[in-house]
Amino acid sequence: MCKVPTIVGAVVLAATAAFGQYTNIAWISFHPGDNQPTAAAAARGFTQAPDAGYTQLLANNGYSVTRFVTQDNPPQSLIDQLNTFDLIIISRSVNSAHYQQPNETLAWNSSITKPLMILGGYVLRESRLGYVTGNTIPDTTNAIRLQIEQPSHPIFQGIARDAQNVMLNPYADIVTLVVSGTNNVQRGISVVTDPLDGGGTILATVAPADAGPVGGTRMIIAEWSAGATLTPSDGGARNEVLGSRRMVFLTGSRESATVGTSEVAGVFDLIGDGPQLFLNAVAYMIPEPSSAALLLLGGLPVLLRRRR
């Protein structure tokens, strides 16, 4: 009996398992499933989660995405479960009030020890998680490109830009949805224009010539190192040490002013090079495979040659 398939199969399975553990993403949202919008969203004509465009993009690019419903006072059991994932993403489609009490900010800032991305500006404010030093948060008003502030950063690989490092192609636009037979114009990306806290590094801002917030940082993408200290405030400043790397990547529409609920916020608004930039950022935030996994996969061609 030839045992080559068994041996090679075992190596392939082992290599797949070693690399597969680096592709699991936890998605925090109002909505429990891509096809399970909240009752408030469903009542307004949504048959899918408003933020399903992001989770579908990730799934279509080989990531395993698990949704978790945003909640007040996250229990330790949830934090422990999230820490088994390789990357955690807080959607734009969440209630920012779930990220403001001392136990909540401590959980998300310090107790989460895996890389984390935040897509919504309201969660960032000084009165919430404290990634910025204030609470000024205007919306973009039209299609935008980004001014790349750190041109050599890996997330900008393959993103076309001009001599001033402004994206040639657009990043995001205002979203218009047909909901219950009516055009529903969402508002733009909510941009906190106050300075960053904790020594964060701005990676990209709204391009100077494009419509958007006036004044301030106009930050769209920024990152923080593990160990950085934030000082969120709910009436008294606290110092909280980040448990791992963090990235802010602002995307997702703000709900229409007339829709009556924030549970329809966070609709996919990336266009042009925006989707690729999002995927680049996700790949950058996921830990590198272990040296053991690399050795295992690297040895597979040798094993195959020897068994021929």
Poorest-confidence range of 59-73, 255-269, 281-295? 281-295
Q: Which of 199, 215, 192 is nearest to 139 (CA)?
A: 192
Task: Please give the pLDDT value at position 269.
Answer: 97
Domain segments of the chain as ranges: 23-121+140-287
The amino acid occupying position 254 is R
pLDDT of residue 44: 85
Residue 94 scores a pLDDT above 60: yes
For residue range 164-222, list pLDDT tens digits in order: 999 999 999 999 876 665 667 899 999 999 999 999 999 999 999 997 787 899 999 99
- What is the chain's mean pLDDT, rounded? 86
- Contact criterion met (CB below 8 Å) for 296 and 18: yes
Q: Which helix (H) or strand (E) holds 283?
A: helix 274-285
33-42 average pLDDT score = 94
Least confident stretch, 186-195, 269-278, 289-298: 289-298
pLDDT of residue 85: 97
pLDDT attached to residue 141? 92
Fold of 23-121+140-287: Rossmann fold (3.40.50)
Q: Which of 106-110, 117-121, 176-180, 264-268 has the lowest mean pLDDT?
A: 176-180
Q: How confident is the model at residue 7 (pLDDT cuts 50, 70, 90)?
A: very low
User: Tell me, what's the pLDDT at 244?
Assistant: 98
